Amino acid sequence: MKKAAIKKIAVAASMFIAMGAASATAGEYQAGDFHQHSLYTDGSYPFMQVMAENANYGLDWWANSEHGGERNRDGNGNYWDDTSVYPINPILGDAEYSGGHQEMWRWQSLRDFVYPDIKMTRENYPDKTVISGLEQNVPGHEHCSTAIHQYDGTATAISEFEYRFDRSDDDTSRDGEIGLLGDVLSKTNDDKEDAILGVKWMQAMKDQGLGDAWVVPAHVERAWSYLIEDFRNWMDAGPDVAIGFEGAPGHQTSGDRGFSRGSLGGGTYGGTGFFVSQVGGLWDGLLAEGRKFYNFASSDYHNHWSTGGSDFWPGEYQKNYTYIDTDAEDKIQAVFDGNRSGNSWNVQGDLIDELEFTAQSKHNKAMMGETLVVKKGDLIKIKIKVHDPAEANNCPFDFENPSLAQIGISQPLNKPVLDHIDLIAATVTGNVPMSNAEDVVATDYQTDAKVIATFERRGGIDKDGYMTFVTKLKADQPMFVRLRGTNMPAGVPFETDEAGNPLADYEASDALYATMDAEELEAKLIEGTTIATNSKLDEVAEAYADLWFYSNPIFIDVVDKDRKHKHHKHHKK
């Protein structure tokens, strides 16, 4: 497969303050992924192979975040109790078995085996930033991508967190130990309240200066377990660590893309979950509360589509682009700071590879994740600059996009063309209504979120694939603005409605892609593509046909004209 070219924006990201700008911070948008799996847990490839592919597909940073609990094999697929590999059984804790082999608890493998492998990966790829993480089995919920940057260069914190707060870890061997924060270890991994305790523990570790952390819930609609008040409670418990969720799930060659139509909301919409893809949905509800809660994407890599799996390699299909301080002495900390800032966006299929999104008044300017403070009545200039790469992406097909062919558009699947960008806005009003636990699919969070402008490609072409769009808003009340963009025009059957909103992915799957003949698709593969099975080719074609990108928001705070601005920074580090 061809590797996607990764272009970076080398601009100065400023930390803006009211009525003026602070000193600029040099940096660039760098591509990353929040979680993937190897043979250490339920992945299908050795740990080091996954790390190599991460680098191969253009990622600059990633977190190795795999399930908690216990497993009977190491990162190369060897059983922990295989005496030819481990002459002395290395397993600690209560004895538990699977498939006739003793299992190692993840608290131990994270600390004693995975972390040394992560350090080796850092040595092998010195220009990459590799982070120690865990996909927590969350008490009372489903899964969450977590990560810890422990400042003493060990992995005792992520190990303790897994032991205490992962609902699949029922080892009791460490109960009574003195923990990292000076308290006594015990199991708190049963229900939603324990999940909140885990977030508080992460926040306390950061507050005590022992390290940094994030908790980013994954594929949040799949298990019908997250309500808007859950995310609110997490943010209240850990304002510096509960930074957002994976609104765009992995597993994009999994049936109806990401997760099945049995998931909350009927599955994904343009490969993005219901909470983010619906204008005025749960994410907009949180943003309307003024909460700095951000949207990310992940590969959730387990097994590649070419061998019958449900996944693309990390970076092959979905990427997060996070603004990273390239001058920072601690490169890992810079990734944590960048993701916490909200100055990031995510994209599928390399639809675009650069994005500049700013809001500017006469005196101030803000980027994604920042707050622009203006006087009531001021005009705000919204600027959007994107780059649509001309080269092919990683799609293994170059035949015409079947979804677009319905409306007479000829576009190769491996060379998508950005059709338009929507500017979405809503008033910041404070807490929106809580969900009704008996109706978690409710979409009315009583916001006024809507698409306030659509920028067509034909109106913004500059040169070499760059497009710039500018519009102005009048600042009447506190608000936020965010972007989405796609290669799909409005009114594409089975893909978008007449207003341009994405339709549920099962519609295109049933009508166009599930009926494709696997052998015919295999014959159309780009020369040099190697596969072990053709069983996933229809899902690969569907994923590459319908592409989207999403930005994180810019907040706009409006003050009375006679009220003086106070100098303050908009990032919380």
Average pLDDT rounded to a whole number, residues 95-100: 97
**Banded pLDDT at 565 (limits 50, 70, 90):** very low
Structure confidence at residue 334 (pLDDT): 98
pLDDT digits (tens, 9 = 90+) for 128-162: 999 999 999 999 999 999 999 999 999 999 999 99
Asked whether the predicted pLDDT for residue 257 surpasses 70, the reply is yes
Q: In angstroms, rounded to a whole number, what is the distance separating the alpha carbons of residues 190 and 188? A: 6
Average pLDDT rounded to a whole number, residues 159-185: 98
70 touches 171 (CB < 8 A)? yes
**Banded pLDDT at 403 (limits 50, 70, 90):** very high
Which of 28-32, 122-126, 440-444 bottoms out in mean pLDDT, i.e. has the lowest? 440-444
Structure confidence at residue 460 (pLDDT): 61
Name the DSSP letter for residue 59. Answer: -
Q: Is the pTM of this model over 0.75?
A: yes
Which of 5-19, 309-323, 546-560 bottoms out in mean pLDDT, i.e. has the lowest? 5-19
The torsion angles phi and psi of 514, rounded to 5 degrees, stand at: -65, -20
Helix, strand, coil share of the chain (percent; to 5) = 20, 30, 50
Q: For the chain, report the end-to-end CA distance as a whole number of angstroms.
A: 39
Continuous H helices in 186-273: 192-207, 228-237
Structure confidence at residue 258 (pLDDT): 87
- Looking up tokens 């192979």, which residue turns up? 49
Q: Is 435 helix (H, G, I), strand (E, B) or coil?
A: coil
Q: What average pLDDT does the structure give for the chain?
A: 91
Structure confidence at residue 259 (pLDDT): 87
Continuous H helices in 238-373: 274-277, 282-288, 331-341
544 touches 393 (CB < 8 A)? yes
Structure confidence at residue 363 (pLDDT): 87
Q: Is 16 helix (H, G, I), strand (E, B) or coil?
A: strand
Average pLDDT rounded to a whole number, residues 370-388: 96
